[in-house]
Structure 1
Amino acid sequence: MPFNTALTRKLGIRIPVVQGGMQWVGYAEMAAAVSNAGGLGIITALTQPSPEDLRKEIQRCRSMTSNPFAVNLTLLPAMVPPDYGAYAKVVLDEGIRIVETAGNSPGPIIKQLKEATPPCVILHKCTSIRHAMSAVKLGVDFLSIDGFECAGHVGETDITNFILLSRARQTMPVPFIASGGFADGQGLAAALSLGAEGINMGTRFMATVEAPIHQNIKQSIVDAQETDTELVLRRWKNTSRLFKNKVTEQAVKIEKESTTGKFEEVGPLVSGKRGRQVFLNGDPDYGVWTAGQVIGLIHDIPTCEDLLARIETEAIDTLSKASSLIVDEQPPADIAGKKIGEKSDPRDEGTSIAKSKL
């Protein structure tokens, strides 16, 4: 039973679930598996060392699925920033017309993507309403509203999705999807009820058969509690939610106790290269890696097909149950008890005993 939301209509997908653009996870096999299962798979551009490598990855993904998939372009501060324009050109040259953007100053890239023929459909990820409104002015088609529960960059406003999504519903002139804290069909139903057109899942897709990461890391997610994440780099206003391990504990200790406040003191611990090795060697304590609070809701490692089928069924069932709560006539209360004065009332029994003693 397909969904009918602005997201499914625009993108041509069956289930309104988007796979997050995860660094070192968003490879072709991940994206293809999600797209084949009815959602929107995403290749993460910067997992590829060059624009030409991205071209090969897009072509590899196309060989594995005939369904729509997207590419993520995240713009982050760097001493030597990647050639984002060249990556975007490859996206356009390869005929990709769905792009997830995120990060700082996306205006030039969004302009480049929108000037294509036909123009790209752009999903832009934001952690605050203020940033979302700025993205609307740039011409994005969908906003991906990223709550404080999410993995990775959480922003600095600490607003959770229950409030953030309602604020988006009240203020956003373009459709939006919900990101951060989603792992099941009940979450999808809740997001739709709050005004979203679908959901974005990252951590949940890491714990799937097709996720191109070590089995030990998938099992670490399954075994974790919702309390097993850590906020790191808050001191430098680059707050990231990471899986709590020995390295994040060291990083947080330095962050809190450093008298100089120099990023160089913590830099080697939060190195992305070191974090990438975690997914390859399977040691969850080797480096830092992103995970959302949703890890507390993840209890298995299914295929993407089984996961999305389950989410679809759960969401439909949840929405149907919610609809059944609306009735034509209010039913009588079932906790009214018996009227005062009836013999079975303990207070009356006490009164009778008292009278018998008079």
Structure 2
Amino acid sequence: MLNTRVTEFFGTRIPIVASGLQWLATADYAAAASRAGIMGFITAASFPEPAALRDEIRRCRDLAEGGPFGVNVSMLPKLVEGDRTEAVFDLIAEEGVRFVETSGRNPEPYLPRLRAAGIKVVHKVPTVKHARKAQSVGVDMVEVIGAEAGGHPGMELIGTMVQSVLAAREITVPLVIGGGIGTGEQLVAALALGADGVLMGTRFLVAEEVRAHAAYKDRLVEARETDTTLVMQSLRNTLRALRNETTDRIQQVEKERPGDLAALLPLVSGKLGRQAYETGDMSLGALSLGQSVIFADRVEPLAAIVARIEAEAERALERLRGLM
């Protein structure tokens, strides 16, 4: 439908990237994205054991039926003792994965080994400044996310509309824009602003292929764009998440003891989030969620979501044609 540098880069039909989602971006999710004509990523951090990640990559390859998919590798902002990033990249290379989505810290130290393995690197950043740096070190594509994004939108919290234009004017490698995007109209708008494609995560959380409790998905269907909040700003690691009892407690701790990592760790632990996804208890954990949750209006197969986005994009294009 829309031929851009993103569709050419990945070999997909539609310039949409289904980003990695902690605990939820499994082979079922990434392969469903691939079969629907978009790009999907498994999240490596969801599989701490190397054997489990290897098995998931192989399962995705079978489920994708020859279509493209990649692995998301989220790195901590600073290198810490026991970091397994190199080992994860080696495993990905051994399995012949063609695309990697990185975020967190500068991927430059790992680029030679990834290039040697024939892997293309897509780096996700929260500002155009970071995008310029990523481009300068040689990544193949950049994803720039705005303040509306779920997960970690950075400290500056610059809106997606502003980010889009700034990035398009300065970035020469293929450019993907994310943050609050969940419709075909927004896809067309992003392309008009100069992007080559869009990033979606929250929109796909209600896909049947996402392995999460039905009560969690029902909560998202009911959610409004105002049902997210920001936490962890005192740690300089801002997180946009579903507003719940846990985020209320985090904000109280940050107010009373800003930057106290020891006090916050029990509340921001990824294990709590995983438990919420498994049990459907929405009071647990800081659950990453973007403002585009308003568009996640029913549970259905991922292919059906993509088909609706395509139809929305076509209607948007027709409106533009009518203005000419």
Report the TM range for the smaller structure's normalisation: over 0.9
- Per-residue CA deviations over 1:290-329 (Å, capped at 9, x if unaligned) read 0011112221112111111111121122112112201xxx
Structure 1: distance between partners of 2:82 and 2:170: 33
Q: 2:266 aligns with which of 265, 268, 274?
A: 268
Q: Please give the residue correspondences for 1:291-306 in structure 2 after superposition, counting only pairs within 5 Å.
A: 291-306=289-304
> 1: distance between equivalents of 2:149 and 2:229?
11
Q: CA deviation at 1:109?
A: 2.1
Distance in 2, matches of 1:309 and 1:103, equals 32
- Secondary structure (helix, strand or coil) at the match of 1:64 reads helix
Ranges in structure 1 where 5+ consecutive residues have no aligned partner: 327-358
CA distance in 2, matches of 1:80, 1:151: 28
Q: Over alpha carbons, which structure has the higher Rg?
A: 1
Please name the residue that 1:330 is paired with: none
Is 2:218 the counterpart of 1:219?
yes
Q: Whole-Å Cα distance in 2 between the matches of residues 18 and 72 of structure 1?
A: 12
CA 1:151/1:81 → structure 2, altered by over 3 Å: closer, same or farther?
Answer: farther
Kept after mapping to 2: 8 A contact 1:111/1:138: no
Separation in 1 of the partners of 2:290 and 2:82?
A: 26
Residue aligning to 1:229: 228
Counterpart of 2:61?
A: 62
Alpha-carbon shift at residue 80 of structure 1 (Å): 4.5
Q: After superposition, where does 1:325-344 map in structure 2 within 5 Å?
A: 325-326=323-324
Residue correspondence of structure 1 range 277-296 to structure 2 within 5 A: 277-296=275-294
Specify which structure has the higher proportion of helix.
2
User: Stretches of 4+ moved more than 4 A in 1?
Assistant: 77-81
Determine the C-alpha separation between the residues in 2 that align with 1:292 and 1:236. Answer: 20
Equivalent in the alignment of 2:46: 47
- Matched ranges for 1:86-235 at <5 A: 86-116=87-117, 119-235=118-234
Q: What CA deviation, in whole Å up to 9, does each residue of 1:75-117 have, x standing for no partner? A: 015754431111111111111111111111321223321222x
**1:52 to partner: Cα distance:** 2.7
Pairwise CA distance, 1:139:
0.9
C-alpha contact 2:20 2:42 (8 A) present in aligned 1 = yes
Q: CA deviation at 1:279?
A: 0.5
> Distance between the aligned counterparts of 1:25 and 1:88, measured in 2?
20
Tell me which amino acid in the other structure corresponds to 1:299.
Answer: D
Residue in 2 aligned with 1:82? 83
Query: Which structure 2 segments of 5+ residues have no match?
Result: none
Q: TM-score, normalised by structure 1?
A: 0.87
CA shift, 1:261, in A, is: 4.2
Instruction: Give the aligned CA root-mean-square deviation in angstroms.
Output: 1.4
Change (3 A) 1:81 1:132: farther
In 2, Cα distance between equivalents of 1:204 and 1:186: 14
CA gap 1:314/1:47 in 2 versus in 1, 3 angstroms: same
Paired AA for residue 112 in structure 1 = R
Structure 1 contact 149–180 (Cα < 8 Å) conserved: yes
Distance 1:287 1:78, change over 3 A: farther
In 1, Cα distance between the equivalents of 2:190 and 2:221? 23
User: CA 1:261 to 1:181, structure 2 compared with 1: closer, same or farther past 3 Å?
Assistant: closer
The corresponding residue for 2:305 is: 307
The percent of aligned pairs where both chains have the same amino acid is 38
